Structure 1
Amino acid sequence: MTLAIDVHGLNKSFGDKHVVQDVDLAVEQGRICGFLGPNGSGKTTTLRMLCGLLTPDSGEGQALAFDVIRQAAEIKRRTGYMTQRFSLYEDLTIAENLQFTARVYGLDRRTERVEQALERLGLKERRNQQAGALSGGWKQRLALANAILHEPQLLLLDEPTAGVDPKARRAFWDEIHALSGEGLTVLVSTHYMDEAERCHEIAYISYGRLIARGTAEAVVKASNLVTLRGEGPGADRLVHELNGKRAVETVAPFGAALHVSGDDRKALEAAVAPYKQVRWREVEPTLEDVFIQLMGRAQDNFQ
């Protein structure tokens, strides 16, 4: 097994805020790892430390066999990074943005590389369109084309599909899996549970600490969470009544149904028993159920 990322005990503080706390992370070459967690939990800071944009306060490890502290410049050259917000030049065309990036990296065969990127991401017909006039989905394609133009070995994606329609998201993920199949290692932060389930494995960070790691199935199983699904008249309106009851850790409506979760089956059944108008049955917890539980148990390091 060849590890593209292998870091231990990463820490980063900004002033008195300890944003990343003793994070260990290992990702095998060619794998897609979903990086999940609430806003402000340290995902972006961790990504920036891995690609050499930020220097850890402490910790050690390697990315692409280079030391994350002493050889950050080497990691930068071999990493593609797609930021949360569209960060290319909006007054340049699609092709001009890619040509500019090719020059910044000092790439050979610039014209050929740009043409290949345009073809691969379906941008050829729009090559002369200004980047600022593109919709969210097309901006996303351009940003991905830009991030892989220099043929990186590691791709870091920071919430790349936020605000993008479902069809564009699916096309994006099809391309990510194709790149992974070619040996590219991908670490992607996301808030979408369906995207997390498309990753080979996931890592959940909450307020600076990595608290869950493994495949989606393994994380759900390790949670020991019991989930009851309620269906019937007014089931989805019981959220406030059930919140705070003993043994009830999370309550979440799913359409007209309700998911009530906790780690004590008997106590959970007792909590929902008074609501006889609702049909209750035990179901497999979803990844969303587990993450809501993890968020509820974590302590906000900014408080």
Structure 2
Amino acid sequence: MSRVGKGTVGIQQIELPDGDETVALAIEISHLKKSYALKPVLRNINLALPRGQRMVLLGANGAGKTTLLRILAGLGKAGSGTFLIEGLDSRYELQEIRRRIGFVAHQPYLYEELTVLENLLFFGQLYGVKQARERAMALLQQVGMERRTKDRIRSLSRGQVQRVAWVRALLHSPSLLLLDEPDTGLDQDGNRLVEVLLAEHTTRGGSILFTTHNLERALTWSDHIVILAGGRVVYQHEAASLTHEELVQRYQEVVT
């Protein structure tokens, strides 16, 4: 099994036990690069996320966080480099990878003219979800949207749309969640809901890679902290061994 090697000075990489080939990885990224119009956006990204754990990507706007998530979700292509999702090679098994991923982003990926339930039944059919209606209703109740099933998406508030987007992402019981600022548009109750959903997912053995601009939530919601700047990994550390003050200091040092 390949491992993320020691690279940039000052980065504590995720290290797998020597000689232990039983450690399963949810995500393994090797030398990933991406450019737009000859402008580098991702520069030689190497990351590994063990299964059942949570990693947060931090960084200023334009650091490459969203681009990286979109590539992992199969919504964009890397310029070079490779990545594996649960051992599946994206170059040959992208369709199977997509079935294992739940993606929540700024764009909700919902049809505005369809109702909440119509959207979810459509995606349930797309992913071959058995008893999709029952599954959708159970999730809608969990996120507090069970009374809005007949409402069209365009009639909902931003926070309500975000809750439905969460249901869409969880509908097919994915093992890996890719979340681009999952707390966007949510109030305090919504943020508590996100925390519960993240905890439930990892309790069931699922893995999570997410972004946020809230450093306090980054510490609370993750096992591993990664900071991107200029398309590079400039800092990486275990969340449990960091205080909020230390993270703020490190963030300011490497981003500003």
Structures share fold, TM-score greater than 0.5: yes
- 1:188-230 deviation digits (Å, cap 9, x = unpaired): 111111210111111111110011112235467xxxxxxxxxx
Of 213, 223, 227, the residue aligned with 1:204 is 227
Contact 1:7/1:24, CA 8 A, preserved across alignment: yes
Deviation at 1:115, TM superposition (A): 2.3
Kindly provide the amino acid, as one letter, of the partner of residue 40 in structure 2.
H
Contact 2:223/2:240, CA 8 A, preserved across alignment: no
SS in 2 for 1:191: coil
Residue 107 (structure 1) aligned with residue 67 (structure 2): no
The alpha-carbon distance between structure 1 residues 118 and 163, as it changes in their structure 2 partners (threshold 3 A), is closer
Of 183, 187, 198, the residue aligned with 1:176 is 198
Deviation at 1:162, TM superposition (A): 2.2
Kindly provide the amino acid, as one letter, of the partner of residue 112 in structure 1.
E
Mapped to 1, the partners of 2:199 and 2:159 lie a distance apart of 18
Unmatched runs of 5 consecutive residues or more in structure 1: 221-283, 297-303
Mapped to 2, the partners of 1:169 and 1:136 lie a distance apart of 14
Counterpart for residue 106 of structure 2? 84
Q: Following superposition of structure 1 onto structure 2, how do residues 56-67 of structure 1 map, counting pairs within 5 Å?
A: 56-67=78-89
Q: Following superposition of structure 1 onto structure 2, how do residues 1-303 of structure 1 map, counting pairs within 5 Å?
A: 1-198=23-220, 199-216=222-239, 218=241, 285-296=245-256
Mapped to 1, the partners of 2:146 and 2:245 lie a distance apart of 43
Counterpart for residue 230 of structure 1? none
Contact 1:56/1:69, CA 8 A, preserved across alignment: no
Kindly provide the amino acid, as one letter, of the partner of residue 60 in structure 1.
T
Q: Structure 1 vs Structure 2: percent identity of aligned residues?
A: 33
Matched pairs, number:
233
Unmatched runs of 5 consecutive residues or more in structure 2: 1-22
Runs of 4+ in 1 over 4 A off after TM superposition: 217-220
Kindly provide the amino acid, as one letter, of the partner of residue 116 in structure 1.
A
Mapped to 2, the partners of 1:9 and 1:147 lie a distance apart of 28
SS in 1 for 2:91: coil
Mapped to 2, the partners of 1:83 and 1:113 lie a distance apart of 22
Mapped to 2, the partners of 1:31 and 1:291 lie a distance apart of 22
Mapped to 2, the partners of 1:55 and 1:85 lie a distance apart of 18
Mapped to 2, the partners of 1:119 and 1:164 lie a distance apart of 17
Mapped to 2, the partners of 1:17 and 1:155 lie a distance apart of 28
Mapped to 2, the partners of 1:136 and 1:181 lie a distance apart of 28
SS in 1 for 2:120: helix
SS in 2 for 1:100: helix
Greater RCO (Cα-Cα under 8 Å, separation 6 or more): 2
SS in 1 for 2:245: coil
SS in 2 for 1:285: helix
Kindly provide the amino acid, as one letter, of the partner of residue 202 in structure 1.
I
Mapped to 1, the partners of 2:55 and 2:227 lie a distance apart of 10
RMSD: 1.8
Kindly provide the amino acid, as one letter, of the partner of residue 195 in structure 1.
R
